[in-house]
């Protein structure tokens, strides 16, 4: 089975721009979660999508949004980029949506904001 | 609020030494799940183990073993006979029972393990 894939792997943007990151979960998995990893804040939960619905959202501003398609692929969008948005964005997929679900992570998208 | 503490920021050992990575958690949930992930330099988080709060049996998988002690809210990870390939950042995580369901992991700050020849 193919693992979680994320595109692009690296991205460089400038302040004020917007960016869209993509995540394809493991086949058969319906839950996709997004995490932001920075040296200062560590790994922080952004949001989770299950069956095209956002189930939970972390403590991030409205500039961070996402969506999930009927094939479970998910996209994450960040508008009006700030320098502090530079981070590794990790996507995780899980078969179920519930706290016992094992989450399998993709390789991440490294976003640099200049 | 959920919290996971990994007090060891960095550990250096010589190959073949045993090493234990500590993890202490806080939660008000009676049912919860604990995880360990490995993050090599490539960045991907690799799933190692999941343990539910009702199962306090220690687990061994090859050179890896985990000690879950509910009484002290700890879920420690031991690597026996460490190897250079074990060098990575290791994260302990706690899943949260959210209203309406859902997946959310609360991660510790990670322990950087360096195994040298």
Res B72: pLDDT? 95
Res B56: pLDDT? 81
Res B57: pLDDT? 81
Res A99: pLDDT? 58
Cis status of the peptide bond prior to A8, with omega within 30 of 0: yes
Cβ distance of A99 and B107 shorter than 8 Å: no
Res A107: pLDDT? 94
Res B90: pLDDT? 98
Q: Does B62 touch chain A (CB under 8 A)?
A: no
Cβ distance of B103 and A110 shorter than 8 Å: no
- Ranges of chain A with pLDDT below 70: 1, 97-101
Closest alpha carbon within chain B to A6: B44
| Best CA proximity match to B62, nearest among B45, B79, B75 | B79
- Residue to substitute from A38, A94, A103, A104, interface B, most B β-carbons within 10 A: A103
User: In angstroms, rounded to a whole number, what is the distance separating the alpha carbons of residues B64 and B108?
Assistant: 19
**Cα-based distances in Å from B47 to A106, B28, B44, B101:** 11, 24, 10, 22
CB count in 10 Å sphere of residue A95: 15
Residue A3 CB partners (closer than 8 Å, separation 6+): A26, A104, A106
A94-98, A101-105, B1-5, B29-33: which has the minimum mean pLDDT? A94-98
Res A56: pLDDT? 85
Res A83: pLDDT? 97
Summarize pLDDT for B37-70 with one digit per residue, the tens. 999 988 899 999 988 888 888 888 899 999 999 9
Q: Does B33 touch chain A (CB under 8 A)?
A: yes
Summarize pLDDT for B62-110 with one digit per residue, the tens. 999 999 999 999 999 999 999 999 999 999 999 877 766 677 899 999 9
Residue B1: pLDDT band (50, 70, 90) is confident
């Amino acid at each position: 089975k193919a693992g979680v894939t994320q595109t692009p792997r690296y991205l460089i943007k400038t302040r004020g721009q917007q960016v869209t990151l993509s995540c394809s979960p493991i086949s058969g998995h319906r839950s996709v979660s997004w995490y932001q990893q920075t040296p200062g804040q560590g790994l922080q939960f952004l949001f989770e999508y299950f069956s095209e619905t956002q189930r939970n959202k972390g403590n991030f501003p409205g500039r961070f949004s996402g969506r999930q398609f009927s094939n479970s692929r998910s996209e994450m969008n960040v508008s009006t980029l700030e320098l502090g948005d530079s981070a590794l964005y990790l996507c995780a997929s899980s078969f179920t949506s519930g706290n016992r679900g094992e989450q399998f992570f993709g390789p991440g998208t490294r976003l640099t904001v200049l | 609020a959920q919290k996971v503490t990994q007090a060891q920021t960095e550990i250096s050992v010589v190959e073949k030494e045993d090493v234990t990575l500590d993890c202490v958690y806080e939660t008000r949930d009676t049912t919860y799940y604990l995880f360990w992930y490995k993050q090599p330099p490539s960045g991907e988080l690799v799933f190692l183990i999941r343990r539910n709060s009702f199962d306090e049996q220690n687990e061994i998988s090859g050179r890896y073993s985990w000690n879950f002690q509910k009484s002290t809210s700890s879920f420690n990870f031991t690597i026996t006979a460490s190897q250079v390939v074990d060098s990575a950042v290791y994260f302990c995580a706690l899943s949260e029972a959210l209203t309406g369901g859902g997946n959310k992991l609360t991660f510790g700050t990670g322990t950087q393990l360096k195994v040298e020849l």
